[in-house]
Amino acid sequence: MAKRPAPRKPTLIERYFQPAITAAQQILDDAGIPDVNHYVRLRADNTIKDDLPRQSAWRALKPKESAITGLHYAEHRHGKDSEQHYAARVVWEFRVLQRAIQDSSNMEFALYLVARLRELVSEWEMTPEMRREARRLQGLQESNLTRREQGDQLRAHLRALAADLRTKHKEASTAELARLIHNLSPSHDTETRLLSIDRIRHLIEGI
């Protein structure tokens, strides 16, 4: 019998973020939030049930129901910028980073994710007033980006979402992934919500 490969040792980057990830996961566990990547059934009365099939979950939904991940349920149940919402975003971003680290062919993307996660953790630790000021400054910074740089950031963001959905919906076409990204984008992600499904499909081609 072939031996199983030894578990991968955490990188320095992963160890750096681990205290924040542990704290965030504890908040989600205490609030009863499903795994941030896991889809559950959101019923019309806003209760959830974990009974969806692993593949093509949206086909098992009844009228007025939707499939929702723990990431989006944290915002839906507790509100944008709540502790639970921030905790879910931190855990989700960390997992995207871990997958990028494992794909050593794209370290530039991994470094971009490191910077994004570090910024998110710092924002999470701020008071609401400090968060508003940080977003104002971020908006000024983003306004100085070239159109190409803004496009590169948007493409990286969408491809991270698509890569995450691909792990749950291996048989989904690129068009189906684009539709999921469009329909499941949280309310704060206005840039994604304003894109057409066809535009999202073009940006994630090859995932």
The predicted-structure confidence for 153-182, as pLDDT tens digits, reads as follows 778 878 877 887 777 777 788 888 888 887
In a domain, 102, yes or no: yes
Query: Residue 154 belongs to what domain range?
Result: 12-27+82-203
All residues at 6 or more sequence positions from 79 whose CB lies less than 8 Å from its CB, including other chains: 85
The predicted-structure confidence for 174-204, as pLDDT tens digits, reads as follows 888 888 887 766 555 666 767 788 888 888 8
In a domain, 117, yes or no: yes
The count of structural domains within the chain is: 1
| Closest listed residue to residue 207, CA positions, set 114, 107, 100 | 100
The predicted-structure confidence for 79-129, as pLDDT tens digits, reads as follows 988 999 999 999 999 998 888 888 766 677 788 888 889 988 988 887 777
In a domain, 111, yes or no: yes
Let me know: does 191 contact 161? Beta carbons within 8 Å: no
| Band of residue 27 on the pLDDT scale cut at 50, 70, 90 | very high
